Amino acid sequence: MKTRRMKLVLGIGLALVVGMAGFQLQAGAHAKSFCAAQGPGGGPPQGPPRGPGGPQGPGGEERLFRELNLTDAQKEQIKTLREKQHTDAETYHEQLRQTREQMRTAIESATFDEAAVRALAAKEGQAVAELSVIGARTEAAIYQALTAEQRAKLATLREQRRPPRPE
C-alpha cells in the first residue's frame, strides 16, 4: 500500500514537472517576436502579452516591422533567420515528442523506474535548453540587423507595451 501511494505521488510530481517544462517550452522557446526576447542580463521575457493584440497575434510581428520601418532587405534577412530557426529546432521538437511518449510509457509501467525517468527528464531538459539557445541566437541576429534608430524605437515600443509593475 505504501509503495503504491509513493508511486502515485511520484507520478503526479513527475507529471507536474513535465507539464511545467512544456509550459516553459511554449512560453520561452517558441517565442517568435523579438519583443519577447530575454531582457537585460538574460532575465525574463520582455514585451507585451501574447494574444490577438500582442506580437504573437495576427500580424503581430509584421505590425512591429511596420513600426520599425524595416527595409525590404531587413525583412528578407529576418525571414531567412526565422526559417533557419524553424529548421534548426525541428530535431529538438521531435526529440521532445519522443521523450514525452517514453515518459508516458515509464509512468504507466507496472513498476516505477526512477533512473529511467531521471534520464528522460534530463534528455527533455537538454532539448528545451537547445530550443532556448536557438531562439536566443535568432533574436540576437535579428537585433543586430536593426539600425541604431530602430533599436531605440524598439526599446521605446517595449516600454510602452510593458504592463505596469505593481508597486
Q: Which pLDDT tens digit goes with each residue over 42-64?
A: 344 444 444 444 444 456 677 88
Is the pTM higher than 0.75? The answer reads: no
* Cβ–Cβ under 8 Å, residues 35 and 158: yes
**What does the block give as the cell for 2?**
505504501
Give the pLDDT of residue 126.
96
Per residue in 123-153, pLDDT (tens digit) is: 999 999 999 999 999 999 999 999 999 999 9
Instruction: Name, in order, each residue with C-beta under 8 angstroms of 114's C-beta and a sequence gap of 6 or more.
Output: 10
Give the pLDDT of residue 31.
39
| Mean of all residue pLDDT scores within the chain | 76
* Cβ–Cβ under 8 Å, residues 6 and 14: no
Give the pLDDT of residue 2.
54
Whether residue 14 has pLDDT greater than 80: no
Give the pLDDT of residue 4.
53
Give the pLDDT of residue 34.
41
Per residue in 72-81, pLDDT (tens digit) is: 999 999 999 9
| Alpha carbon distance 130, 118 (integer Å) | 18
Domain ranges of the chain: 2-24+62-161
Q: How far is CA 149 from CA 140, 145, 159, in A?
A: 16, 12, 16
| Alpha carbon distance 86, 137 (integer Å) | 12
